[in-house]
Amino acid sequence: MNTNLIQKIKISFQERFKTEPLMIFSPGRINIIGEHTDYNGGFVFPAAINKGIIAAIGKSDSKSFSMAYAVDKEEIVTIYLNDLKPSSKGSWENYVLGVVAELQSRNITIGNFNIAFGGDIPRGAGMSSSAALENSVVFGLNELFDLSLSKDEMILISQMAEHNYVGVKCGIMDQYASMFGIVNNAFLLDCRTVKSKSYEIDFKDHELILINTNVKHNLSDSAYNDRRSVCESIADLLNVKALRDATEYDLESIRNNVTPENYQKALYVIQENDRAVKASKAIEAGDLELLGKLIYASHEGLQHQYKVSCEELDFLVDQAKLNSHILGARMMGGGFGGCTINLIEKIETESFKVYVAEAYRNQFHKDCSIYEVALSNGTGIIE
């Protein structure tokens, strides 16, 4: 955990609100494989990481308002609990407001509060800073006002905050990974039952590194919701609850009833779901070659079938493919920017970092950022 950041957030809270806060860490996540399968009721393979959101939270004496302070942005908003509405600016405020609104919609009463937060994952990096923020807010309010919410309830509140206040109809992967993370472990999560099996991750002489394109193309939120509705309409046509319940054979039977583009999107989801399960078996068997192949195949599908990649991500994956010490690479998260995740032999990491940073700069005249991350515990109090 980032101790400097914890200090900074704590001091910012104390200076502004003049009381002692409860400190919370809520991690971001990686996803080894299983992309865009969560909202199709399928499987994903995420893990919480040692980067995320640090929040300081405390009760407020005010009778009429609460306050939320984004320390890095130096922005503060006043929240009137009896008059909540989404902020038109569409910024970080909606993650906080959305959680409060979801509590209210469940008739859960809270008092006024103050929160200050900051983080060490860049927004738009596909590492789930939004779920981390939502989880930190709901977790903090649960502690502060003794709401007795379970972690399962809290992640649904976070997810619905994102649907109803942020406008992204996300699945449950990010909130789950951030809330339930276990140090050194990743999860095969069944997004229908919201139950997971954890896998200790030790790739021996290999490791996972992230490369951030440092771009986030604008269409990402609307394209995300579009993909979701395409999947839902094809599931309807197939008469199944979600694409997770369909096979390639089922899909073939309605091929003439859908556009070739939508057929490919649904096919991607069915195949990716299968890859996530296969990847869990490969990890269990220590078969990193197979895991790497599945990861590359996932990117192919995201690029050509599901069409949520972009030229910066494709470039990074192509660079990885040129290096025989990299077993697999793919875009991670919603897409249209953010990071690639790379399974690389440890002895190669340093030289690949230098190589890829220069190649990226030459190609796009901007810098990528490279992170090594450790798998961490989920949302919790910082003692």
> Which residues, other chains included, contact 382 with Cβ-Cβ below 8 Å and sequence gap of 6+?
1, 6, 23, 24, 25, 54
Q: How many residues make up the chain in this entry?
A: 383
Cα 142 to Cα 379: distance, rounded to the nearest angstrom: 12
Closest separation between CB of residue 374 and ligand GAF, Å?
A: 20
For the question of residue 205 being annotated catalytic, the response is no
Is residue 265 a contact point for ligand GAF (CB under 6 A)? Answer: no
Which residue among the candidates 146, 174, 274, 287 is catalytic per the annotation? 174
* Among positions 24, 57, 173, 189, the unique one binding ligand GAF when judged by CB under 6 A: 173
* Among positions 171, 292, 301, 337, the unique one binding ligand GAF when judged by CB under 6 A: 171
* Among positions 13, 39, 296, 315, the unique one binding ligand GAF when judged by CB under 6 A: 39
Q: Specify whether the CB–CB gap between 313 and 331 falls below 8 A.
A: yes
- 136 is written with which tokens? 């930190």
Please identify, using beta-carbon distances, which residue of 94 and 114 lies nearer to ligand GAF: 94
Please identify, using beta-carbon distances, which residue of 282 and 302 lies nearer to ligand GAF: 302
Closest separation between CB of residue 295 and ligand GAF, Å?
A: 14
| Phi, psi of 130, rounded to the nearest 5 degrees | -70, -45
Binding characters for ligand GAF, 176-215, by CB under 6 A (x = yes) = ----------------------------------------
Helix (H, G, I), strand (E, B) or coil at 240: coil
> Which residues, other chains included, contact 279 with Cβ-Cβ below 8 Å and sequence gap of 6+?
32, 33, 34, 45, 291, 294, 295
Please identify, using beta-carbon distances, which residue of 128 and 214 lies nearer to ligand GAF: 128
Is residue 35 a contact point for ligand GAF (CB under 6 A)? Answer: yes
Closest CA to 90 of 13, 167, 25, 161: 167
Cα 102 to Cα 106: distance, rounded to the nearest angstrom: 6
* Among positions 100, 170, 258, 313, the unique one binding ligand GAF when judged by CB under 6 A: 170
Cα 101 to Cα 161: distance, rounded to the nearest angstrom: 7
Please identify, using beta-carbon distances, which residue of 35 and 345 lies nearer to ligand GAF: 35
- Stretch of 34-42, 78-86, 206-214, 248-256 lying at the interface with ligand GAF (CB under 6 A): 34-42
Please identify, using beta-carbon distances, which residue of 139 and 306 lies nearer to ligand GAF: 306
Is residue 331 a contact point for ligand GAF (CB under 6 A)? Answer: no
Closest separation between CB of residue 150 and ligand GAF, Å?
A: 20
- Stretch of 35-43, 195-203, 252-260, 286-294 lying at the interface with ligand GAF (CB under 6 A): 35-43
Cα 265 to Cα 228: distance, rounded to the nearest angstrom: 10
Cα 141 to Cα 181: distance, rounded to the nearest angstrom: 20
| Cα separations in angstroms, 252 against 236, 333, 363 | 15, 28, 40
Is residue 122 a contact point for ligand GAF (CB under 6 A)? Answer: no
Is residue 174 a contact point for ligand GAF (CB under 6 A)? Answer: yes
Please identify, using beta-carbon distances, which residue of 115 and 173 lies nearer to ligand GAF: 173
| Cα separations in angstroms, 219 against 133, 222, 308, 335, 367 | 22, 6, 10, 10, 22
- Stretch of 11-19, 36-44, 115-123, 250-258 lying at the interface with ligand GAF (CB under 6 A): 36-44
* Among positions 98, 333, 337, 378, the unique one binding ligand GAF when judged by CB under 6 A: 333
Q: What amino acid occupies position 307?
A: K
Q: What amino acid occupies position 18?
A: K
Footprint on this chain of ligand GAF (rule: CB under 6 A) = 35-36, 38-39, 128, 170-171, 173-174, 333-334
Active site residues: 174
